[in-house]
A = this chain, B = another copy of it.
Amino acid sequence: MPAHPISVAIVGLGKIARDQHIPAIEGNPAFELAGVASRNASLPSLRHFTDIGEMLRNAPDIAAVSLCTPPQGRQAQARAALAAGRHVLLEKPPGATVAEIGPLIDLARQNGVTLFATWHSRFAAAVEPARAFLADARIRSVQVTWKEDVRHWHPGQQWIWEPGGLGVFDPGINALSIVTRILPQPFFLTQASLSFPANRAAPIAAELDFADGAGVPVRFDLDWRQTGPQSWDIDVDTDKGRLLLGEGGKTLSLDGQPLLADEDAEYAGIYARFAELIEAGESEVDLSPLVHVADAFMLGRRIEVEPFEDAA
């Protein structure tokens, strides 16, 4: 831990910033919450800036920024912060496009600062134990079932249905971020079908068939129309048994025997890692989950399904 805490500011004071980033920063003595940039919102007793440009001009003491704004438009914010010599943490997904991230990596290197593209689900409790278990396992198949009720989790949010909003890949990319972390071999899409409501520009469901180089099947079923019990399960059939990550990576079992169940500490993990990266002078950017989503839009067959209305 550095001698002085790292001054970090939040850009974009929405739900994720309030629910997750601010408590995680306040819970980590390596950081000091030093300001907020938000057009419309502010917090008591915290410096407020209307946008990141004003912050960068007027607050030279702020060493790091966490970008919690939507991915569209975030590239310019990240670019400005990195060029001004500030460390940058990106909420997921790291950008609206894959191509925009490469120049940010170069800019971080040129300015000697850290760029951290976060995938919060990778910090769920079962992820690293699962990765260690699978490192020397013979994997036969992987089945991901990620089914939730969009009306419950995203009530009235229109932007998720717009181009770039990603639709069901907004939660689905969390599953991708776990599976790309725990499997020992890279995998790639072989076919996909994406279900678009007739009145929406983003998919409400998707079936994705991936394979690794050895042909091991990796199947994702994503669905935003799930009422009743919600599923965020990753089921890996191996020669050492059947490993199940449940509840989005919070629980782990082997052949039905519980190995682990933990409380959510994803954002605490993110900020612990951010401090490590800053201390080490390194960046961490893994685009593979976003690349898989882009591949799914490119290679996937589009199926039109019934219109989606927020009020059921």
> Which A residues form the contact surface with B (CB < 8 A)?
75, 79, 95-100, 102-103, 107, 163-164, 166, 185-189, 191-192, 201, 213, 288, 291-295, 297-302
Q: Are A99 and B302 in contact (CB under 8 A)?
A: no
Q: A99-B186, A163-B192 are in contact. List 8 more A-B contacts (CB 8 A).
A: A96-B189, A98-B295, A99-B295, A100-B189, A103-B213, A164-B299, A294-B297, A298-B298
The residues of B that contact A291 with a CB separation of less than 8 Å are: 98-99, 291, 294
- Given A213-B79, A302-B201, check contact A100 B297 (CB 8 Å): no
Q: Are A298 and B297 in contact (CB under 8 A)?
A: yes
Max chain B C-beta neighbours (<10 A), residue from A100, A213, A294, A297: A294
A97 to B192, CA, bound (A): 11
The residues of B that contact A301 with a CB separation of less than 8 Å are: 163, 201
Decide if the interface of chain A is mainly helix, strand, loop or mixed: mixed
The residues of B that contact A300 with a CB separation of less than 8 Å are: 163
Query: A293: which of B185, B192, B292, B298 is its contact (CB, 8 Å)?
Result: B298
The residues of B that contact A99 with a CB separation of less than 8 Å are: 186-189, 288, 291-292, 295
The residues of B that contact A95 with a CB separation of less than 8 Å are: 188
CB distance from A303 to the nearest CB of B (A): 10
The residues of B that contact A163 with a CB separation of less than 8 Å are: 191-192, 299-302
Q: Are B298 and A97 in contact (CB under 8 A)?
A: yes
CB distance from A275 to the nearest CB of B (A): 28
Q: Which partner residue on chain B sits nearest A165 by CB separation?
A: B299
A164 to B201, CA, bound (A): 19
CB distance from A164 to the nearest CB of B (A): 5
The residues of B that contact A189 with a CB separation of less than 8 Å are: 96-97, 99-100
Q: Are A98 and B213 in contact (CB under 8 A)?
A: no
A192 to B185, CA, bound (A): 33
24 A-B residue pairs with CB within 8 Å: A95-B188, A96-B299, A97-B295, A98-B291, A99-B186, A99-B187, A99-B288, A99-B292, A100-B188, A102-B186, A103-B185, A103-B186, A103-B188, A107-B213, A163-B192, A163-B299, A163-B300, A163-B302, A201-B301, A291-B294, A293-B298, A297-B297, A297-B298, A298-B298
A160 to B222, CA, bound (A): 27
The residues of B that contact A297 with a CB separation of less than 8 Å are: 294, 297-298
CB distance from A285 to the nearest CB of B (A): 14
CB distance from A237 to the nearest CB of B (A): 22
The residues of B that contact A299 with a CB separation of less than 8 Å are: 96-97, 163-164
A166 to B75, CA, bound (A): 27
A186 to B75, CA, bound (A): 13
A288 to B298, CA, bound (A): 14
CB distance from A50 to the nearest CB of B (A): 21
The residues of B that contact A192 with a CB separation of less than 8 Å are: 163
A291 to B186, CA, bound (A): 18
